[in-house]
Amino acid sequence: MSDFTPNEMMTIAASRALTSSDVCFVGIGAPSAACNVARLTHAPDITLIYESGTIGTAPDVLPLSIGDGELCDTALTTVSVPEMFRYWLQGGRITIGFLGAAQLDKYGNINTTVIGDYHKPKTRLPGGGGAPEIATSSQEVYITMAQSKRGMVEKIDFYTSFGHGDGGDHRKRLGIETKGPTLLITDLAIWKPDPETKEFTVVSMHPGVTREMVQETCGWQVKFADNVEETPPPTELELKTLRDLKARTDAAHKGK
């Protein structure tokens, strides 16, 4: 299993950032895959929470949405959405909020609302859902997305989920005490915010990736850490776990 895709590398790199002690608010898609790979490998005691109110869920297949019955069937308990947000999220009990993005800027601000002008958009996206609250109330936020100039832009078209705003201490000046985005995992690299400016900086590149590849798929001028590491490739266990999970998911969604 030495061969792997960029998407598999992204998912596995994201899963490695999680621990058994984390209480993770999970988004659908890549965040869900990463969180469940972590649960099935090195972080068996992680608490996964989905927006629909399922707590401590352990799905055998990846959910189609937050309302997928698989989540409720395998959860320790299910609470109402108001309780989920007011007690769990806004109460500071979520250690990691895991989000995706349609558009992202270098300060971790996310757009999942519209592409183009809000009143006359080129594309209307699914919207924020609970992401704006996750972005401000989770102790930390991790972001996963595939790199492209269309997705990683100098200026997002709409602020759906607040990251570090204009950079620096912008969050603190607005009275937001949580850390905000502390990690960005793409299909090419791992990024962390600069301690002072909060601009995302490449700290690790995945095997076979060059600086030119990272810059060519990013809409802003990329900053690289002084010592950029190489992301360790997926292990046989990590790849098998991810592929088995996706195979079960595909079979279940096809009714097999």
- Which residues are marked as active site? 51
Are the CB atoms for 57 and 79 separated by under 8 Å? no
As a whole number of angstroms, the longest Cα–Cα distance in the chain is 53
- Between the alpha carbon of residue 249 and those of residues 3, 39, 63, 214, 252, the distances in Å are 21, 16, 8, 31, 5
Tokens of 49: 């929470």
The answer to whether 100 and 11 have CB atoms below 8 angstroms apart is: no
Which candidate, 235, 230, 240, 186, places its Cα nearest to that of 11? 186
| CA pair distance 18, 65, nearest whole angstrom | 22
Reference 136, options 166, 162, 101, 115; nearest CA is 162
Which residue from 232, 231, 235, 233 is spatially nearest to 205, judged by alpha carbons? 231
* CA angle, 107 then 86 then 35, to 5°: 55
